[in-house]
Amino acid sequence: MVSVSESGIKEAHFNIKPTFAQAGLVCKIPQIKRKPGQTCDDYEYCVDMTIMPHTSCCHKDGGHLDKFDRIYALHKLLSDARHPIPRQQLLQQLECSRSTFMRLANVLRDYLGAPLNYNKERNGWHYDQQGEHPFELPGLWFNAHELQALTVIHQFLRDLNPGLLEEQLRPFQKRINQMLDNQQLGHGNLPDKLRILGMGVRSGGQAFQTIAEAVLQNKQIAIEYHARGTDENSQRIVSPQRLIHYRDNWYLDGWCHKRNALRSFSVDRINKPSIINQPAQHIKEQQLQQHFAQAYGIFSGQAKHTAVLKFNAYRARWVSEERWHPKQQGRFLDDGSYELKIPYGKPQELIMDILRYGPDVEVVGPMDLRMAVQQRLEKALVNYEK
């Protein structure tokens, strides 16, 4: 046990797991183990300094790992505050008594090394931050909401692309599940409660991780690319700029050194990627936005035209609330129909989306786009006249 002053912790136990030391952190807390048969109810305070709270802590104040959460919450309040916080305000925020708050303050200051001070003039508590780097709790600390959010993200990745980063995330997810169990939040039924359904999902394949590494390391990458449109293979050197998840599939935006221009590559069409020990050519964000975000669709380029679409009153209930493009313009007409204007460059993707609405939409202009949609509809009709 650890004995301190009346205002501090009278008795405490700390379970320091190897992961704490492996993280390169210096621990000032003595390693004290419970005696056989003892539980956390035998102590006034219990805390664990690893990535996850103690797996068997049950506090006598009724809150499972309640003090752990309060340490985290107190740290967040003090980190975000620009001025000293009155004690009464802290007690209300933390929903605890004065004596409990003093124990939390002592743990933060004496055992975790927080620069916690009391300002008598302002009658408040604050972090005495000095230097370039503000104080952070050692290790990884999560509250209940953050744990649940991490689990949702992991489930999202699993449904998004089965197998994508699965091997890398599996140990992390196991730790998160243990933390959720500790706090009695549950996780086992998440797949039944949260579903992300993809249409036309193409596997990112084994290339995804190599491409992601090149993007994060700002390194050039050599690829073999198979273009669906021409059904041809080509060798490329690409300076990757960013990965884009668009309509359930992954794309790589990058500078193609062969074409000497910006290009988008479908990740599932990339074969044999290898990172080159050369820095990627940096393209300014403004230039990327001008090329990729001005016009409609993933393979956008410069916006040279504006499509004018008229949806009937029935379909307008949905389309009026949809976002097709950041710079779209829409308005209801007198007959209840909805007019939507969209900037576009290459028309192929826009035509496919227009065709999805069949008789519920009419292309008002430009005439080239109207004729292109009409021709596609006529060709489709031939299939049903046989």
The residue with tokens 């820095």 is 279
Q: Residue 210 is encoded by which pair of tokens?
A: 């190599």
Are the CB atoms for 202 and 249 separated by under 8 Å? yes
What CATH number belongs to 12-127? 1.10.10.10
Whole-structure pTM value: 0.54
pLDDT in tens, 21-79: 333 333 333 333 344 443 333 333 333 333 333 333 334 343 434 567 788 889 889 98
Sheet holding 85-86, edge to edge: 85-86, 124-127, 116-119
> Which element (helix H / strand E) includes 308?
strand 305-311
Token duo for residue 89:
């305000």
Task: Please state which of the four CATH numbers 1.10.3430, 1.10.3470, 3.30.70, 2.60.120 is assigned to the domain occupying 305-382.
Answer: 3.30.70
Helix (H, G, I), strand (E, B) or coil at 271: strand
| Helix, strand counts (H, E) of the chain | 12, 14
pLDDT in tens, 315-327: 999 999 999 988 8
Q: Where are the domains of the chain?
A: 12-127, 144-193, 207-288, 305-382
Contacts of 23 (CB under 8 A, 6+ apart): 138, 139
CATH code matching the domain that covers 207-288, chosen among 2.30.30, 1.10.10, 2.30.29, 3.40.50: 2.30.30
CB neighbours (10 Å) of residue 244? Answer: 14
Strands 305-311 and 338-344: antiparallel
| Averaged pLDDT score across all residues of the chain | 75
- Report how far residue 75's alpha carbon sits from residue 317's, in angstroms, rounded to the nearest whole number: 47
Contacts of 385 (CB under 8 A, 6+ apart): none
Mean pLDDT (10-residue bins), the chain, 386 residues: 32 33 34 39 34 36 56 87 90 89 89 88 84 70 64 64 60 65 57 62 73 92 91 95 85 94 91 94 88 68 89 96 92 97 91 95 97 95 88
Dmax (CA) for the chain in angstroms is 93
256-267: per-residue pLDDT in tens? 999 999 999 999
What integer pLDDT is reported at residue 84 of this predicted model? 92
